[in-house]
Amino acid sequence: MRIAMFSTKPYDRRSFEAAGRAHDILYLEPRLAPETATLAAGAGAVCVFVNDDVSAPVLQALHAAGTRLILLRCAGFNNVDLKEAERLGMAVARVPAYSPHAVAEFTIGLLISLVRGIHRAYQRTRDGNFALEGLLGFDLHGRTAGVIGTGRIGALVARALAAGFGCRVLAYDIHRDPGLEALGVTYTDPRTIAAESDIITLHCPLTPETHHVIRAETLALAKPGLILVNTSRGGLIDAEAAIEALKTGRLGGLAIDVYEQEADVFFEDLSNEILTDDLLARLLTFPNVLVTGHQAFFTRDALQAIAEVTLGNATRAEQGLPLGASEVKAPRAG
């Protein structure tokens, strides 16, 4: 099958070429958007990543040019209009779990860097500054950590915090994980998490219900100095409210691998350009804000799994076989 792959970086090409050549892949650098959809003309499938635009008009343009399959080379699918895909008879497949460990381990890395000022120490010592003033952290042991979303990634993070670091872990999810409860993780409501946590880490998908799950009202409930980590999706946090809370000290630190308006910025080297996103620019001025550019997934293991599962999805769809756990369907009403 001909697959038009959008937002291709050299590392994507290397991992897909290593995973096999069963399909004819057209590697395209541009992001999928209304203006670029015609690049996929004649391709039975398009392969997209987190910031590609797979909205209704784009799906209609792809469908008109012969595309019948959307292959997401990621887990999240908030950028796809699933109802429109269903209406057009287009199948949507994702990679449900390429390496939850990659994201969970990165989350813990961000948390410790932020709490202990490792990101600042790295810069300071290179400048010959070995002073400790301004780097005072706190022990994770005994602190209360709130985990919102305890699926594949959130469960690993909750486990590491509870069993590894000895945190008291509070969790919120629409489904409970008895394995975590057995470890002492306590499920509760989001307000209790907001009010009692020293640390909150976000691992639920972005949906209409979870959009801005962290906003001014949530932050108003928080203990002063709350540490917030987000490696899930940028839209879970209202960045303007986070900036206000950072200014007052209500938020004591923010580590984000994702940002609501990241599509125009992340995955690109903009070091010779002017940053026009004023919210992101403001966030980058805080010493207690750590921003990474959607790299939590970025391990050799994850890239290999992404390529293998995506190509497997393409093969199954081409042969008319069920897509199983990879299939993404529009939610049923009611």
- Active-site residues, by number, are 233, 262, 294
Site for ligand NAI in 82-101 (CB under 6 A): 97, 100
* Closer to ligand NAI by Cβ: residue 97 or 163: 97
Cα separation of 179 and 63, whole Å?
43
One-letter amino acid of 330:
A
Residue showing tokens 């001014």:
216
Question: Which residues inside 165-204 make contact with ligand NAI, applying CB under 6 A?
Answer: 172-175, 203-204
**Residues 297, 309, 312, 313: which binds ligand NAI (CB under 6 A)?**
297
Q: Are 233 and 263 in contact (CB under 8 A)?
A: no
Interaction of residue 293 with ligand NAI, rule CB under 6 A: no
> Alpha helices, DSSP H only, in the chain?
10-18, 56-64, 82-88, 100-116, 118-126, 152-159, 178-182, 190-196, 216-221, 239-248, 278-283, 300-318
Please identify, using beta-carbon distances, which residue of 33 and 97 lies nearer to ligand NAI. 97
* Nearest-angstrom CA–CA distance, 195 and 146: 10
Residue 103 binds to ligand NAI (criterion: CB under 6 A): yes
Going residue by residue from 49 to 88, which x/- string records binding to ligand NAI, judged by CB under 6 A?
--------------------------xx------------
Q: What gap in Å lies between CA 169 and CA 20, rounded to an integer?
A: 43
CB 76 within 8 A of CB 206: yes
Positions 253 through 282 that interact with ligand NAI (CB under 6 A): 257-258
What b/e readout covers 164-175, taking b as 16+ CB neighbours within 10 angstroms?
ebebbbbbbbee
Nearer to ligand NAI, 73 or 294 (CB): 294
The one among 117, 146, 149, 234 contacting ligand NAI by CB under 6 A: 149
Piece of 32-40, 61-69, 206-214, 272-280 that binds ligand NAI (CB under 6 A):
206-214
Q: Which residues bind ligand NAI (CB under 6 A)?
A: 75-76, 97, 100, 103, 148-154, 172-175, 203-205, 207, 209-210, 231-233, 257-258, 294, 296-297
